[in-house]
Each structure stands twice: as structure tokens, then as C-alpha cells.
Amino acid sequence: MRLKAENVSFAYPGNKGDADRFIFKNVNLELDSGKILAILGPNGSGKTTFLRCLMGMLKLTSGTCQIDGRPTSAMSTKEFWEKVSYVPQQRMATSSFTVFENVLLGRSGQIAFFGTPRKEDKEAAEKILEELGIIKFRDRRCNSLSGGEFQMVLIAKALVSDPELLILDEPESGLDFRNQLIVLNTMDKLKEKGISCIFNTHYPKHALQKADYSLILGGETPVFGETGTVVNEKNIEEVFGVRAVINEMQVDGETIKNIIPLYVTGKK
């Protein structure tokens, strides 16, 4: 799978003669199979809007998105969602379905409109719960799970349809130290299977840790490139208005990047 966005812009139409209010302008990006892309930016920088545009929930003002060379606007909903899965921003776990029932809902693209889940659908759901290590919650009600546990259920639900691209909206926000790591490490496992991931985050550290590429929104112009190059002290200060230092550490022969915020510069 190869995802490509060319000169993508989105604006809310202005009221009565006002200029259109652009949320982002001229975003360009490319993503291959098994790569992770982080979309980085402060609150209100249009991260979620960008994802919704990418998925066709909002109509682009200009530009095109392509999957394997085909414009997504020309793909049928069914065709598109066979390749792509979406994990929305996690809210309170209000669903009173059981975990298994909830994950099974992710197979709806494979099940006929007037049909019910077949044996293979149930097996796929069992398998993904096993893989993500949450099979022990199989028969628990979702509204009795913690935030971190429910986030993993949502990821399982997205993965059960065997997507080529997984889109996650702030998958790690609101989770504790350990659960953030569990969610982020799940993306590494997907990478090995050749699944691409796009995730939104307001933590530059998570982009540095996990993402091959980063798209930074919220500055003068959107910046896209390899994470190691574009997530730098200058860009962080421009977008977040925070002076931060990025340092490197050697752990078990691996180089790990970390970022420490120092103070608010007010420049933004």
C-alpha cells in the first residue's frame, strides 16, 4: 500500500464575504507499507480535521489523496474501508457491549448487509484479541474496562478487518505511563506485519520514539519529512511555542531520542 497526499488543503467557508478560514494548506505526504507517520501539533492545529479529510468524512477544499495511485475520492466507501481502519479519539467507555461483541463490529465490512457473523468472523475476533493480549477481557462489558484497556479494544476492533492502513486519533492521550507504552508498542507489531499507521499526537516525544515520518501542523506551513529531521528544536519552538532540548541516549546499543521542554517562549 502506498498513500500519497498532494497539496491538500481544507477551509471552512467564511461567513458573508469573509475570507475562507483555512485549517491547513498545501499538505504533501507519502507513506509506504509498514511505516508509521505521526501527525504532530498543539490543540486546535487541525490534526483531527486532517485525518477526517484523509478518510473522506470532510471534503477537501483542494488537493488529492491517493491510495496505490488511485484517488480516494473515486473509491467506493466499501472499497476504501476495506483497506483502511480508524480508531477514533477515545472517550469514556460507555458501550455496554461485551469486548467480543464490540470487536466483532469491526468485521461489518466482511459481513453481508442482511447477514450475521460467520464462524470465520468470530475466529478472526478471537485471534486479534489473543494477539493484542486482551483475550482475558473477552466477555467483560466495555463499560467496566479502564481507559487503557478500552483503547486496546478499539484497536482490536479496527484491526479485525485486516486493514492495510490504520489511522489512530490520539491513541495514547489520557492514558497512564504504562498504557501509553502498550498502545505505542502495538504499532511496532503492526509495522512488522506490513501495516502502515498514522497517529495524531500532541507529544513530540512519542513521534520521536515511534514514527518513521512526521507531519507537523500548526506552523506557518505544514512540515513533512523523516522524524529525525523535522522534529527538531526549531520546529517545536515554532509550533508549540516551547523552548525544548532534544538529546540522544545509548541504551543497549540503540540510540534513543528524548525531548525535554524548558520554558514557554510566548512566540507562537
Partner 1 sequence: MKKRTVVILILLPIITALICICAGRMGIGPADVFKTFFGSKEISGNVRITVMNIRLPRILLGLLCGAGLSLAGCCFQGFFSNPLATPDTMGVAGGASFGAALGLLLGFDMIGVQILSFCMGLTAVFFTKAAASGREHGPAVLVISGIMVGALFSALVSLVKFLADSESQLPAITYWLMGSLGGTGYKKLALGAPIIIIGIIIIFLLRWRINLLALSEDELIASGTNVKLLRSLVVICATAMTASVISMCGQVGWVGLIVPHMCRLIWGQDNAKLIPASISIGASFMVVVDTLARSISAAEIPVSILTAIVGAPFFISLLNSKRRVIGL
Q: Which stretch binds partner 1 (CB under 8 A): 35-43, 66-74, 111-119, 224-232?
A: 111-119
What whole-number distance in Å separates Cα of residue 268 and Cα of residue 266?
A: 6
Can residue 119 be called a binding residue for partner 1 (CB under 8 A)?
Answer: no
For residue 94, give the C-alpha cell. 460507555
Nearer to partner 1, 48 or 66 (CB): 48
Residues 21-60, one symbol each (x = binds partner 1 by CB under 8 A, - = not), give -------------------------------x--x-x---
Q: Please state, in angstroms and rounded to a whole number, the distance separating the CA atoms of residues 134 and 129.
A: 5
Could you say whether residue 255 binds partner 1 (CB under 8 A)?
Answer: no
Interface with partner 1, residue 10, by CB under 8 A: no
State the number of binding residues for partner 1 (CB under 8 A): 33
Q: Which is nearer to partner 1, 91 or 268 (CB)?
A: 91
Q: In which region does residue 82 sit, left (phi positive, over 0), alpha (psi from -120 to 50) or beta (all else)?
A: alpha
Please give the span between the terminal C-alpha atoms of the chain, in angstroms, as a whole number: 37
Q: By CB under 8 A, is residue 15 in contact with partner 1?
A: no
Select the residue interacting with partner 1 from 4, 122, 127, 141 (CB under 8 A): 141
**What residues between 69 and 98 interact with partner 1 by CB under 8 A?**
77-78, 80-82, 84-86, 88, 91, 94-98
Write the burial class of residue 225 (CB in 10 Å: 0-12 exposed, 13-18 middle, 19+ buried).
middle
Which residue, 110 or 232, has its beta carbon nearer to partner 1? 110
Q: Is 203 in the site for partner 1 (CB under 8 A)?
A: no
Min dist. Cβ of residue 77 to partner 1 (A): 6
Q: Which is nearer to partner 1, 57 or 262 (CB)?
A: 57
Least gap, CB of 188 to partner 1 (angstroms): 23
Instruction: Report the interface residues with partner 1, using CB under 8 A.
Output: 52, 55, 57, 77-78, 80-82, 84-86, 88, 91, 94-98, 101, 105-106, 108-109, 111, 113-117, 141, 143-144, 158
